[in-house]
Structure 1
Amino acid sequence: MKLNIQNETSRLRSVILGTAESIGSIPSIDEAYDPKSILHIKAGTYPKESDMIKEMDAVAEIFEKYDVTVYRPEVIKDYNQIFSRDIAFVIDDKFIKANILPDREREYEAIHHVIEKIGDENIIILPEECHVEGGDVMPWNDFVFIGTYSGEDYSDYITARTNMDAVIAIQELFPHKTVKAFELRKSNTDPKENALHLDCCFQPIGKDKAILHKNGFLIEREYEWLLNFFGKENVFEITKEEMYSMNSNIFSISEDVIISEKNFTRLNTWLRENGFTVEEVPYAEIAKQEGLLRCSTLPLIRE
Structure 2
Amino acid sequence: MTNTVTTYVRDEYSVLADVIMCEPRHMAIKEVINEMQKQHASANINIEKAILQHNQLSAVIQEFGASVHFLPASAFLPEQVFTRDIGFVIDEKLIVSNMGASIRLEETKALADWYERRYGSCFYLKKGTIEGGDVMLSDDLLFIGQSSRTSGEGLEELQQMCPHKQIIPLHFDHRHLHLDCIFNIVASATAIVYEPAFEADSLAAVKQRFNIISVPDEEQARLGTNVFSLGRRHIISLPENMHVNKQLREYGFIVHEVPYDEIIKSGGSFRCTTLPLRRVEKIINKERNVEQ
TM-score normalised over the length of structure 1: 0.86
Letter in 2 for 1:175: P
**Structure 2 equivalent of residue 14 of structure 1:** 18
Deviation of the 1:78 alpha carbon: 4.9
- 1:177 correspondence with 2:181: no
TM-score normalised over the length of structure 2: 0.89
Structure 2 residue runs of 5 or longer lacking an equivalent are 281-292
- 1:284 correspondence with 2:261: yes
Letter in 1 for 2:61: F
**Structure 2 equivalent of residue 153 of structure 1:** none
Map residues 1-303 of structure 1 onto 2, 5 A cutoff: 1-23=5-27, 26-27=29-30, 31-41=31-41, 44-80=42-78, 81-100=80-99, 101-111=101-111, 112-120=113-121, 123-127=122-126, 129-149=127-147, 160-186=148-174, 194-217=175-198, 219-230=199-210, 234-303=211-280
The CA distance in 2 between the partners of 1:126 and 1:137, in whole Å, is 14
The CA distance in 2 between the partners of 1:79 and 1:225, in whole Å, is 37
Q: Deviations over 1:149-174 (max 9, x none)?
A: 4xxxxxxxxxx100001111111111
**Secondary structure of 2:108's match?**
helix
CA RMSD, aligned part only?
1.4
Provide the identity percentage: 31
Deviation of the 1:113 alpha carbon: 2.7
Letter in 2 for 1:113: W
The CA distance in 2 between the partners of 1:277 and 1:245, in whole Å, is 20
The CA distance in 2 between the partners of 1:77 and 1:229, in whole Å, is 43
Deviation of the 1:302 alpha carbon: 0.3
**Secondary structure of 1:289's match?**
coil
The CA distance in 2 between the partners of 1:258 and 1:15, in whole Å, is 15
Q: Where do 4+ consecutive residues of structure 1 move more than 6 Å?
A: none
Deviation of the 1:117 alpha carbon: 2.3
Structure 1 residue runs of 5 or longer lacking an equivalent are 150-159, 187-193
